[in-house]
Amino acid sequence: MLEESYPRRWRGYWKEGCIALGLFAAILLVALIVVSSARNPGPVEIHSDSTCDTYHESIDFNVPEDPPVFADLTKQELQNTRAYLKSQSDLNLVDINKVIVSSSYIYSIELLPPTKSLVLQHLDNAGRKPQRWAKVIVFRGDLPTPLIQEYRVGPMPKPSTHDLIDYKGSRKNPIPFAYRPLSGTDIALINIHIFPEIFDKAEDIIVESFGAKLRDCGSKCVTYSAGPVSTSLSGEVVRKFWIRFSHAVNFMTLHPLDFQILVNLDGVHRENFRIEKVWYNQKVFNSLGDLVDAYRSGKVEKLHFTFPKVDKNLFSTLNLRGDPFPKKQQRRPFQVEPDGKRYSISGQRIKYMGWSFNYRMSTNSGPMLFDVRYKHQRIAYEISLQEIAVFYSGYGPASRFSDIVDSASMIGTLSKILIPEADCPGHATFLPATHLFDGSDAPITYDNALCLFELETGNPLRRHHSFSGYEGHFYEGLMDDVLVLRTVLTVGNYDYIFDYIFHQNGVVEVKVMATGYILASAYSPNERQFGFQIHKNLLGNIHHHMFNFKVDMDIFGTSNRFETLDISVDETPNGDWSSLPDVTVYNQLKFKRTLHHTEIQAAYKFNFSTPKYLLFHNEKRKTKQGVSRAYRIAINGMSKQLLPEGKGHEPSIPWSRYQMAVTKFRQTEVQSSSVYAIWDSYDPVNNFQNFLDDDENIVDEDLVAWVTLGVHHIPHTEDLPVTPTPGGHLQFFLLPYNYFDEDPSMASRNAIRIQPAEDDGKPGKLPLVINRYGMNSTRKCVPKPTSFYERLLNDPDMIFN
């Protein structure tokens, strides 16, 4: 066992050690977050002038005493859960400031979404409101065989029981200790057990090679990040990281050094914690001692990286530079809401035009929607992010084995603050999220974790102009104004923007954009097939971004079918229409409906030769013409998983094999991934492929679609300093398909119609009627400027800890 205990105040240590920040994985800034207590949410900001405020809807962030079924756990519920668990002797929890790897401690507490059947009883049949429960992940370093346990704790508000969650064999619980998601204890282990050896043996080499030091380094420091190495590589369930070193300069991923160390941090025993390999100047060594010998004897060529000159012109910093534009100091355009907000919020339920839905921010899996309805009719029971993955390639081992599956990084906690007028429009409403997680004793609330805004997209939703007399003169058009619920998850280097977008015609859009810093390698000719040299010592490695979403479709209830419209070429005899011998057969397109009976049959891999529409319907609900009233899922932003199935780290993300899969809803198959997926490729904890492999019947069942978006990214110089979003929007849509009798946006008062007035028979100009359907376009009002920046100046903890 570990003899010494070390406090969780890593931050102090790092200051002494001169290593600015340890970064993990997708370069996860976990754990260094030392937050003493939750801040009070600031005042709600609603930017509009009272004179504009005619029909303001109500915006209420207060969580009711008895929270609605989908609401995140409240501060009080989180606190009560923690207090209850603390008092349970079987859990053996230690105080947060005494946590070491061999302790029992709580990794996360969050809502365990209630059983769907109970929720539907409650919502649709006036059934009793289901009890609220917490899902709690506990690291049990204290047990003879350390492991991870997932508990169901409750009922709220005052928990009285805790049981291991029974996944009925569909996924593991408890979970091998080596699979635990990334936490502060990893930093502590590297810090206490690995760094002394590096200081001891390699400090001279680091100073000579990189013009910077690991400790006592002043303004020239070397920092590091640690990337998990998933278990398929060694074929054993062990916990290993590649530590990559870089110059401690904004931003570190663009200043990599050709120096990496593979460490084993398995279990809780100090004798396990060791350096297994060392990489220096494109060569592998079995130990630091071997590197030192080779370095001294001239068997490895010495590297000479110069420490970058840090100023605002440094290529890797984000500062205004270049020839400033616009030439004059003219502000950006902005939008106004001339008659007040047209949406309301209450109990984490949002209403907008015909739409209503609940949102929540899962600590471990990010933004989720529940009970999405249009005109009171549920379309989807759930639409939620499941996983973010990025698989990198490279010659050097750290890039080669960086296959990052981000929910190991508590992605829901990574939207720390959205900034008005940069992350979201100035008129947005900012929504809080509260978490209790690794490193915190009390719940932490991030006031601006999400934002909600109505957006004038500038695109017409529909229009037609009939300008000639014989068609009948008229014009009508309507802008595609939407409601956007946004969050931005900063997973170390990358920033992922997630939007749930609601259109006026019954369409839901889900969109992902990536920005932020790339993860890169020190340039070497060996890396050329994996990227371009984009700066002096820098090469941007090719990688594949992948995102998985759960879309629990409920079209007129839970008895649904999945059908595709398969488009093909029709060869029609053409003798009647042409006498030319080579036109006796005419080719055109046709389609046929294919009902998919089982899960394997339904698993969708895009094929250009066989275009398809993907439709969900309830067989009992037809239009007057007898056509199935359906919703269509359309995916814009697909990519193919090129890695072979079942090899390497691919088994951790089996959902990426399909652009969409359809499964029968099961309460034990509520997520496609798990927080363990970054490690578990050798033996996945929650294997999505198993959802399909039992090949259940999916006809007239409750169906769930699992949608994967993706894009390959070969970085280029314009990814410096950070990746821009244009060209990288990945989306999928839920589109009504024979669902309404006509476009429901016909009921929008925001359309504009122009037609001739009754012809008075007089010569001269045609008299016109311009119909704005009662909208007053003469009232003028100006939104109040945001007070956000004042609040920020008064409370800098809002943005940096």
Ligand X SMILES: *[C@@H]1O[C@H](CO)[C@@H](O)[C@H](O)[C@H]1NC(C)=O
Do residues 10 and 187 lie in contact, with contact meaning Cβ atoms separated by under 8 Å? yes
Q: Coil, strand, or helix at residue 655?
A: helix
Residue 32 CB neighbour total at 10 angstroms: 17
**CA angle (363 as vertex; 361, 365 as ends), nearest 5:** 80
Find the part of the chain contacting ligand X (CB under 6 A) among 262-270, 496-504, 663-671, 774-782. Answer: 774-782
Report 72-91 residues binding ligand X (CB under 6 A).
none
Residue in 158, 465, 647, 779 binding ligand X, rule: CB under 6 A: 779
Choose the catalytic residue: 406, 495, 554, 680: 406
Name 795's Cβ contacts closer than 8 Å, sequence gap at least 6.
Answer: 39, 42
Closest CA to 101 of 180, 23, 199: 180
Q: How many residues bind ligand X (CB under 6 A)?
A: 6
Residue 622: which of Cu ion, ligand X, none does it interact with, CB under 5 to 8 A by kind?
A: none
Single-letter code of the amino acid located at 199: F
**Is residue 500 within 8 Å of 482, Cβ to Cβ?**
no
Single out the segment in contact with ligand X by CB under 6 A; choices: 24-32, 107-115, 369-377, 776-784: 776-784
Shortest distance in whole angstroms from residue 472 CB to ligand X: 28
Told to judge if 789 belongs to the known catalytic residues of this protein, a careful annotator would answer: no
d(CA 139, CA 323): 53
Task: Name which of 112 and 520 has its Cβ closer to Cu ion.
Answer: 520
Which residues make beta-bridge pairs with 755? 769
Q: Angle at which helices 195-210 and 288-296 pack, to 10 degrees?
A: 30
The entry of Cu ion, ligand X, none that residue 579 binds, CB within 5 to 8 Å by partner kind: none
Q: Is 607 in the site for ligand X (CB under 6 A)?
A: yes
Rama region for 167: left / alpha / beta (φ>0; ψ in -120 to 50; rest): alpha
- Decide whether 106 or 542 has the Cβ nearer to Cu ion: 542
Q: Which amino acid is at 100?
A: I
**Binding of Cu ion by 713 (CB under 5 A):** yes
User: Which DSSP state fits 722?
Assistant: S
| Shortest CB 660 distance to ligand X, Å | 15
Are 282 and 420 within 8 A, CB to CB?
A: no
* 188 Ramachandran zone, left/alpha/beta (phi>0; psi -120 to 50): alpha
> From CA 124, how far away is CA 717, in angstroms rounded?
54
Both tokens assigned to 156: 């709220």
Tell me if the bond preceding 326 is cis, omega within 30° of 0: yes
Name which of residues 380 to 409 contact ligand X (CB under 6 A): none
Among 40, 588, 778, 794, binds ligand X (CB under 6 A): 778
Contact region with Cu ion (CB under 5 A), list: 103-111, 578-586, 709-717, 772-780:
709-717
| Of 216-224, 300-308, 342-350, 775-783: span binding ligand X (CB under 6 A) | 775-783
What's the chain's Rg over C-alpha atoms?
29
Instruction: Identify which of residues 89 and 778 has a Cβ nearer to ligand X in the complex.
Output: 778
Minimum separation from the CB atom of position 389 to Cu ion (A): 12
The site partner of 297 among Cu ion, ligand X, none (C-beta below 5 to 8 Å per kind) is none
Give the number of other Cβ atoms within 10 Å of residue 53's Cβ.
15
Nearer to ligand X, 98 or 779 (CB): 779
CB of 351 to ligand X, least distance (A): 25
Residue type, 262: L
Per CB under 5 A, does 629 bind Cu ion?
A: no
- Phi and psi of 349, rounded to 5°? -110, 135
* Partner whose footprint covers residue 776, from Cu ion, ligand X, none (CB < 5 to 8 Å by kind): ligand X
Binding partner selected for residue 778 from ligand X, Cu ion, none, CB under the kind-specific 5 to 8 Å limit: ligand X
- 642 touches ligand X by CB under 6 A: no
> What span, in angstroms and rounded, lies between the C-alpha atoms of 364 and 407?
6
CA nearest to 568, candidates 529, 611, 602: 611
Region of 131-139, 333-341, 711-719, 791-799 interacting with Cu ion (CB under 5 A): 711-719
Q: Which residue has the tokens 């200081």?
A: 199
- Closest to ligand X by CB, 375 or 605: 605
Phi, psi of 319, deg, nearest 5: -145, 160
Q: Let me know: does 73 contact 156? Beta carbons within 8 Å.
A: yes
Give me the least distance between CB of 731 and Cu ion, in Å please. 17
User: Measured from the CB atom, is 579 or 778 closer to ligand X?
Assistant: 778
Nearer Cβ to Cu ion (669/719): 719
Choices 65-73, 364-372, 641-649, 708-716 (CB under 5 A): range interacting with Cu ion: 708-716
**Is residue 227 within 8 Å of 402, Cβ to Cβ?**
yes
* Annotation says 658 is catalytic: no
Using the rule CB under 6 A, which residue among 609, 642, 726, 763 binds ligand X? 609
Tokens of 485: 């619920």
CA–CA gap between residue 480 and residue 510 (Å, rounded): 16
Minimum gap (Å) between residue 775 Cβ and ligand X: 9
Chain residues 610-639 in contact with ligand X, contact rule CB under 6 A: 610
Question: Of these residues, 295, 446, 494, 682, which one is catalytic?
Answer: 494
Give the nearer residue to Cu ion in terms of CB position, either 516 or 651.
516
Of 540 and 684, CB closest to Cu ion: 540
Residues between 214 and 243 that touch ligand X (CB under 6 A)? none
187-195, 322-330, 706-714, 754-762 -> range binding Cu ion (CB under 5 A): 706-714
Q: Which of 776, 794, 796, 800 binds ligand X (CB under 6 A)?
A: 776
Cβ contact 429:341 at 8 Å:
yes
Using rule CB under 6 A, residue 131 touches ligand X = no
Instruction: Please state the closest distance from residue 348 (CB atom) to ligand X, in A.
Output: 35
What is the C-alpha to C-alpha distance for residues 544 and 104, in angstroms, rounded to an integer?
36
Give least dist CB 419 to ligand X, A.
Answer: 33
CB of 610 to ligand X, least distance (A): 5
Q: Identify the bridge partners of residue 499 per DSSP, sorted by sequence position.
A: 486, 511
Interface with Cu ion by CB under 5 A: which range of 11-19, 103-111, 428-436, 705-713? 705-713
Please report whether residue 544 would count as binding Cu ion according to CB under 5 A: no
Six-digit token string for 693? 């492999």
Give the number of residues in contact with Cu ion, rule: CB under 5 A.
Answer: 1
Q: Which of 414, 372, 426 is nearest to 786 (CA)?
A: 426
713's contact among ligand X, Cu ion, none, with CB below 5 to 8 A by partner kind, is Cu ion
Site for Cu ion in 119-158 (CB under 5 A): none
How remote is the C-alpha of 764 from its chain's centroid? 61
Q: Which is nearer to Cu ion, 712 or 772 (CB)?
A: 712
Residue 719 near residue 533 (C-beta atoms within 8 A): no
Q: How far apart are CA 351 and CA 744, in angstroms?
A: 17
Q: What mask, x for binding ligand X by CB under 6 A, covers residues 726 to 765?
A: ----------------------------------------
Q: Which does 779 bind (CB under 5 to 8 A by kind): ligand X, Cu ion, none?
A: ligand X
Longest Cα–Cα distance of the chain, Å, equals 104
Structure-block tokens of residue 680: 């578990």
Residues that bind Cu ion (CB under 5 A): 713
Residues that bind ligand X (CB under 6 A): 607, 609-610, 776, 778-779
Instruction: Supply the residues annotated as catalytic.
Output: 406, 494
